């Protein structure tokens, strides 16, 4: 994993900087590990085993996998006499690292009734103690880079734990609640959509050399964008209702060919988790079933649906370069994040410029997921982190209500297949000028 760019330091300065970085990462790792355990604390052992589809994973597996990551990539290197907690966990909790050997097939993670949840939690506790001890003496910059990656990796799995659980709970006839219900729908409409113009031309895209970023966010490079405008907020549920009422799911002229095939194959008539009711629509949330709020950003739509809606609205999806050009100017905290405990998108607040750039819903872009010019994956197993997935997927930007606030930035790239709907995925429109 490429780390921050090295800089010249005065005698003693590098050692002090290493001490400070190690101390900060030690505290941050402990904080993130506690947060993951906190998300799982309200689950029963039966809840923690649920796997409702091949793309999702049980909460127990997320707890074990994130622990295995630190044990395999940090402790195996940092401990003088390393001994794995259980050699079998390398098979049970490896995700996709081919260099590290075979693994439990992803669609069959829900079959892992053993080890029981209490044993996985004991595994986490032991690795946490050993990790804390290792970081108390760690100063190697390369090792600290891997620790920083492990922290970001665990934050990704915090979001996945929530979204995978939401999909599993939605499949239950009881539709149980994970947390307290989100506040009742807002009394007023969403802020009026405005168009934020951009003159086009050369823009800078990607993360800079300093600080942490995932490898696929680099190198920073120039891109050309046409004159365009970006919507001031995400598309709302109320606006999506107009698409549904206008038979948007029955009009093949609005859809890409593969998207129309998906509509017919899956029987889509509305976003995932929308529930038809005689008085309108309800929506399943991590707080249970509640009335649909027209002012909230629409969520749980696929790229195919986002693209069809954009065509219906006389607009298009932004490229990731266009999105980032606006986000770098407006990067801020007016969105909803996992720390807020709402676990559901909130209506945009009035204000100037782009709203909810980070948080609330991931925003599909028109850009296929691929490498930036000059991208090179790291050597070894960690080089399998992002580069091997750069085919057949679309880029999303911005983060969601299930993303940790500190995890996100303007250069952050997410990616999913165009038919994926179980994440908090929404839409921000763009148009040509």
* Predicted confidence (pLDDT) per residue in 178-228, tens digit: 998 877 766 588 999 999 999 999 999 999 999 999 999 999 999 999 999
Instruction: Quote the pLDDT of residue 183.
Output: 77
pTM for this predicted structure = 0.94
Instruction: Quote the pLDDT of residue 7.
Output: 36
Q: Please work out, in degrees rounded to the nearest 5, the angle formed at the alpha carbon of residue 64 by the alpha carbons of 159 and 85.
A: 150
Phi then psi dihedrals of residue 93, to 5 deg:
-115, 5
- Ranges of residues in the chain with a pLDDT under 50 are 1-11
Instruction: Quote the pLDDT of residue 185.
Output: 67
Instruction: Quote the pLDDT of residue 46.
Output: 98
Whole-angstrom distance, CA of residue 426 vs CA of residue 371: 23
| Element (DSSP H or E) covering residue 426 | strand 425-426
Residue 193 neighbours by CB under 8 Å, 6+ apart? 231, 232, 233
Instruction: Quote the pLDDT of residue 181.
Output: 84
Instruction: Quote the pLDDT of residue 14.
Output: 59
Q: Domains in the chain, please, with CATH? A: 13-170 (1.20.120), 195-432 (3.90.1580.10)
Tally of CB atoms within 10 A around 9: 12
Q: Which of 231, 202, 206 is nearest to 363 (CA)?
A: 231
Q: Is 365 helix (H, G, I), strand (E, B) or coil?
A: strand
Instruction: Quote the pLDDT of residue 331.
Output: 55
Rg (CA), the chain: 22
Instruction: Quote the pLDDT of residue 6.
Output: 35
Q: What is the pLDDT of residues 277-294, one digit of tens each?
A: 998 999 999 999 999 999
């Amino acid at each position: 994993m490429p780390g921050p760019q090295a800089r010249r330091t005065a005698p003693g300065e590098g050692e002090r900087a290493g001490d400070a970085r190690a101390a900060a990462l030690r505290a941050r790792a402990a904080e993130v590990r506690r947060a993951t355990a906190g998300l799982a604390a309200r689950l029963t052992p039966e809840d923690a085993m649920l796997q409702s589809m091949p793309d999702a994973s049980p909460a127990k597996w997320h707890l074990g996998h994130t622990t295995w990551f630190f044990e395999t990539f940090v402790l195996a290197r940092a401990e003088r006499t390393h001994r794995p907690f259980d050699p079998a966990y390398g098979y049970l909790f490896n995700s996709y690292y081919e260099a590290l050997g075979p693994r439990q097939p992803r669609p069959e993670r829900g079959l892992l009734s053993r080890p029981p949840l209490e044993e996985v939690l004991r595994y986490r506790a032991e690795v946490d103690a050993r990790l804390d001890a290792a970081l108390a003496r760690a100063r190697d910059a390369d090792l600290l880079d891997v620790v920083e990656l492990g922290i970001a990796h665990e934050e990704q799995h915090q979001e996945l734990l929530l979204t995978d659980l939401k999909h599993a709970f939605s499949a239950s006839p009881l539709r149980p609640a994970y947390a307290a219900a989100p506040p009742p729908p807002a009394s007023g409409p969403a802020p009026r959509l405005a168009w934020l113009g951009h003159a086009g031309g050369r823009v800078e895209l990607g993360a800079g050399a300093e600080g942490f970023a995932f490898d696929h966010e680099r190198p920073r490079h120039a891109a050309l964008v046409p004159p365009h405008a970006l919507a001031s907020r995400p598309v709302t549920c109320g606006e999506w209702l107009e698409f549904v009422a206008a038979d948007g799911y029955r009009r093949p002229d609005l859809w890409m060919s593969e998207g129309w095939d998906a509509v017919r194959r899956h029987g889509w008539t509305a976003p995932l988790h929308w529930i038809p009711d005689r008085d309108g629509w309800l929506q399943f949330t991590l707080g249970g079933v509640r009335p649909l709020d027209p002012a909230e950003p629409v969520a749980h739509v696929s790229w195919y649906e986002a693209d069809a809606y954009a065509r219906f609205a006389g607009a298009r999806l932004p490229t990731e370069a266009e999105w980032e050009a606006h986000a770098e100017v407006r990067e801020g905290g007016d969105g909803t994040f996992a720390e807020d405990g709402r676990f559901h998108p909130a209506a945009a607040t009035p204000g100037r410029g782009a709203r909810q750039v980070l948080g609330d819903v991931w925003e599909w872009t028109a850009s296929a997921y691929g490498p930036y010019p000059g991208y090179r994956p790291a050597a070894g197993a960690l080089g399998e982190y992002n580069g091997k997935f750069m085919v057949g997927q679309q880029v999303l930007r911005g983060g969601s209500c299930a993303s940790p606030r500190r995890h996100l930035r303007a250069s952050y790239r997410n990616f999913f297949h165009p038919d994926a709907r179980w994440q908090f995925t929404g839409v921000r429109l763009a148009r040509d000028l």
